[in-house]
């Protein structure tokens, strides 16, 4: 069976015949595509939204600090112009109405990418069938409940931020009544209600959510929203919430099992099956012995494009594929499926799979566009910090990759590589939560730049979020657009890997051919007024970088160039060993250059130096599995929007200042 093409994630392509036995529960969602009205002029005066919090708190007898703290963890007080989140949540309080979601294809069933990406095996192109409908959990239907409590229409709760805040206050007040607790003015007495508001079904997840809310209340917050309104929450140092209330919330005990997670998150173990199912076929991952056998050097950020329960069904299907962790949108809950020592099939590149951990963030298509919750951002950041410390993974954009930064393994696979989490993932905020905010590391005349637009104010136009060619809602973005000259009248730069025939790049939301994203670093190739040129895919690429509103900051580091006097050097999507390194019983893997070259005279930023390696694991019986390492060394470079690899012997390593 073939599913209808979905315009909002990738260019429609023929799908495979291999399908998963498990079915994705209702409303598979796609790339996080945000929508919001343009921000207004910022003002330091009390905003209408701040007044709405005060009014709702008074009407429903909820402490204003509690209402503000919950809203901050949901949306950072942003209204997103009435557009829903990745789980159909609306407004500052993230009131959920997931029935607005549209059915589509799950993440790894979409497009031509082979999630395993191992050229030693037949392509793995899974396909999952979607049921027509299923019962949604209560955490995805809170907007309807809020409508009943307030008497406000569902449409108004979705589109009017003040009404949305009132709906959230009504839900908190109802949760307090359900606990048999009085409408106290002391925020410390609302811990249980906050925990219930999360929609979590287990006590650990609810407690983790409530702890985050009260941490926000204790420390205080202040920011301008996406609509330009100033909202402030005064700090309450020393606030000690009544955590004993959680025992009266009627939640089940957590099932952490053997999950590898930090103590600061709620986490459970839902294993992906390692099973054989006939004719030498097995799934849905490979057993390994990392990091002893092979370095774990990457964390790959995905979106699930499916509702939580359906995603869990898929990852437990041996005929489907796998990833290491899933993260839930509404409350940040985490499930681990594949141990870090083992290799999940998720990134479409076997070299990256065998050296990475994959994180799938819950998301599905909700018209017109969608955004991620603060709860999930925070939970994800805590997990990434934990994995970084445990496996010595640097916290930078050369090692914390989006799926859209993973290269193809050969020229044939480049066009089919996935593009999530897309241009609306807030990489700047994510790295602030990681404790590694992006900033200038060199003088203004430095030879490198770190892409760093102001997310809320950076609003490039995109098409294809809902319908092919149709304009997306305007919203903040992590990406800048790249042109062949210093101005928007010039054509966009071309990506010969995406379009072997030489066709032009587009502004489609899934076209990464002329895009640089927050945190990525490039060598400066020229400057002209408000425009900066970088070396990108073997060419000069220009982006708007005005001094009054810069979209990049100066940086320093290591770069590679072609050897002196040498011709252009090949660029690879994997760092595999030389043929002589393979033992007799392991077939040498082809090392096919990608359809790009690194021309003489150009510079590209080095993210890491890696030793060549290939994990041979093509049978269910692990006796023949082994890691082949070679003498060749490679440099991982930021070559275009995706990373790539060049042989150290083909290039020279230099300081960016030289």
Q: Give the domain ranges of the chain.
A: 48-248, 449-556, 562-655
Separation of alpha carbons 69 and 204, rounded Å:
19
Separation of alpha carbons 268 and 245, rounded Å:
23
pLDDT at position 87:
82
Per-position b or e across 449-478, b if 16+ CB within 10 A of its CB: bbbbbebbebebebbbbbeeeeebbbbbbb
The CATH number fitting domain 48-248, selected from 1.20.1260, 1.10.287, 3.30.950, 1.10.530 = 1.10.530
pLDDT at position 304:
80
Convert the pLDDT of each residue in 154-199 to its tens digit: 999 999 999 999 999 999 999 999 999 999 999 999 999 999 999 9
What is the dihedral angle through the alpha carbons of 269, 317, 107, 468, rounded to the nearest 10 degrees?
-150
3-state secondary structure of 381: helix
pLDDT at position 83:
83
Quick one: which of 110, 94, 96, 135 has its CA closest to 29?
A: 110
Separation of alpha carbons 16 and 557, rounded Å:
43
pLDDT at position 102:
47
pLDDT at position 473:
79
Radius of gyration of the chain (CA): 25
Quick one: which of 485, 521, 516, 491 has its CA closest to 504?
A: 491
Peptide bond into 403 cis (omega under 30): no
Convert the pLDDT of each residue in 553-565 to its tens digit: 999 999 999 987 6
pLDDT at position 7:
32
DSSP string, 410-474: SGGGGGG---TT-TTS-HHHHHHHTT------S-TT-SEEEE---TTT-----B-SSSTTPBPPP
Separation of alpha carbons 465 and 34, rounded Å:
9
Per-10-residue mean pLDDT of the chain, 658 residues long, equals 29 33 29 34 70 98 98 95 86 88 64 90 78 69 96 96 98 97 96 96 93 97 93 97 92 82 93 91 96 97 81 91 95 96 97 98 59 93 98 98 97 94 93 98 89 94 86 89 98 97 93 98 97 98 97 96 85 98 96 96 97 97 96 98 97 87
- Copy the structure tokens of residue 268: 């459970």
pLDDT at position 9:
34
3-state secondary structure of 635: strand
pLDDT at position 84:
85
pLDDT at position 129:
59
Are 633 and 609 within 8 A, CB to CB?
A: yes
**CA 302 from chain center: how many Å?**
5
Phi, psi of 532 (to 5 degrees): -120, 135
pLDDT at position 235:
98
**Residue 244: exposed, middle, or buried by beta-carbon count in 10 A (0-12, 13-18, 19+)?**
exposed
Mean pLDDT of the chain: 88
Are 194 and 70 within 8 A, CB to CB?
A: yes
Quick one: which of 419, 402, 412 has its CA closest to 593?
A: 412
Quick one: which of 598, 453, 447, 599 has its CA closest to 524?
A: 447
Q: Which residue has the tokens 């979209």?
A: 551
DSSP string, 125-194: -------S--PPPGGG-HHHHHHHHH---HHHHHH-HHHHHHHHHHHHHHHHHHTT----S-GGGGHHHH
Residues near 59 by Cβ (< 8 Å), separated by ≥ 6?
166, 169
Separation of alpha carbons 160 and 578, rounded Å:
61
- Copy the structure tokens of residue 417: 């590589």
pLDDT at position 31:
27
Are 634 and 352 within 8 A, CB to CB?
A: no
Residues near 449 by Cβ (< 8 Å), separated by ≥ 6?
521, 522, 524, 532, 534, 545, 552, 553, 554, 555
CA angle 340, 346, 348 (to 5 degrees): 130
């Amino acid at each position: 069976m073939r599913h209808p093409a979905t315009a909002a994630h990738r260019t429609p392509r023929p799908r495979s015949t291999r399908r998963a036995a498990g079915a994705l529960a209702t409303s598979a969602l796609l790339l996080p595509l945000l929508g919001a009205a343009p921000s207004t002029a910022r003002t330091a005066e009390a905003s209408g939204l701040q007044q709405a919090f005060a009014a709702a708190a008074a009407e429903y007898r909820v402490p204003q600090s509690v209402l503000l703290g919950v809203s901050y963890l949901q949306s950072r007080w942003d209204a997103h112009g009435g557009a829903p989140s990745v789980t159909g949540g609306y407004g500052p309080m993230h009131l959920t109405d997931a029935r607005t979601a549209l059915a589509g294809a799950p993440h790894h069933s979409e497009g031509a990418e082979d999630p395993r990406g191992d050229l030693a095996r037949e392509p793995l192109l899974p396909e999952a069938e979607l049921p027509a409908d299923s019962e949604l959990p209560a955490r995805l239907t809170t907007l309807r409940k809020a409508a009943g409590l307030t008497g406000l229409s569902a449409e108004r709760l979705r589109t009017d931020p003040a009404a949305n805040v009132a709906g959230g206050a009504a839900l908190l007040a109802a949760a307090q009544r359900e606990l048999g607790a009085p409408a106290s003015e002391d925020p410390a007495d609302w811990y249980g209600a906050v925990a219930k508001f999360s929609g979590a079904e287990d006590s650990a997840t609810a407690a983790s959510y409530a702890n985050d809310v009260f941490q926000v209340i204790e420390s205080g917050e202040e920011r301008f929203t996406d609509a330009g309104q100033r909202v402030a929450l005064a700090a309450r140092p020393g606030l000690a919430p009544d955590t004993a209330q959680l025992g009266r919330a009627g939640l089940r005990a957590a099932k952490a099992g053997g999950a590898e997670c930090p103590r600061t998150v709620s986490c459970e173990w839902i294993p992906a099956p390692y099973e054989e199912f006939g004719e030498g076929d097995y799934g849905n991952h490979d057993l390994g012995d990392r990091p002893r056998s092979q370095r774990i050097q990457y964390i790959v950020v995905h979106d699930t494009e499916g509702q939580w329960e359906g995603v869990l069904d898929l990852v437990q299907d041996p005929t489907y594929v796998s990833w290491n962790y899933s993260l839930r949108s509404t409350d940040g809950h985490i499930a681990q499926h594949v141990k870090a020592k083992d290799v999940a099939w998720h990134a479409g590149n076997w070299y990256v799979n065998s050296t990475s951990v994959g994180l799938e963030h819950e998301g599905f298509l909700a018209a017109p566009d969608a955004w991620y919750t603060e709860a999930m951002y925070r939970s994800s950041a805590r997990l990434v910090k934990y994995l970084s410390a445990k496996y010595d993974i640097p916290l930078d954009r050369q090692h914390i990759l989006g799926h859209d930064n993973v290269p193809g393994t050969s020229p044939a696979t480049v066009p089919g590589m996935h593009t999530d989490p897309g241009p609306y993932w807030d990489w700047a905020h994510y790295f602030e939560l990681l404790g590694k905010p992006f900033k200038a590391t060199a003088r203004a005349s430095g030879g490198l730049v770190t892409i760093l637009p102001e997310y809320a104010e950076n609003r490039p136009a995109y098409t294809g979020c809902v319908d092919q060619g149709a304009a997306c809602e305007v919203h903040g973005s992590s990406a800048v657009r790249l042109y062949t000259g210093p101005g928007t009248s010039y054509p966009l730069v071309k990506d010969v890997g995406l379009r072997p025939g030489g066709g032009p790049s587009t502004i489609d939301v899934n076209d990464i051919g002329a895009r640089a994203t927050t945190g990525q670093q490039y060598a400066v190739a020229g400057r002209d007024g408000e425009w900066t040129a970088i070396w990108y895919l073997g060419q000069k690429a220009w982006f708007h970088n005005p001094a009054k509103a810069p979209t990049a900051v100066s940086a320093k580091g290591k770069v590679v160039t072609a050897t002196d006097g040498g011709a252009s050097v090949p660029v690879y999507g994997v760092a595999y060993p030389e043929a002589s390194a393979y033992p007799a019983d392991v077939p040498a893997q082809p090392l096919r250059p990608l359809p790009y070259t690194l021309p003489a005279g150009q510079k590209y930023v080095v993210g890491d130096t890696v030793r060549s390696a290939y994990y041979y694991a093509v049978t269910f019986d692990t006796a023949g599995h082994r890691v082949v390492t070679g003498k060749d060394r490679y440099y991982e470079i930021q070559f275009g929007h995706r990373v790539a690899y060049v042989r150290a012997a083909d290039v020279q390593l230099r300081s960016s200042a030289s």
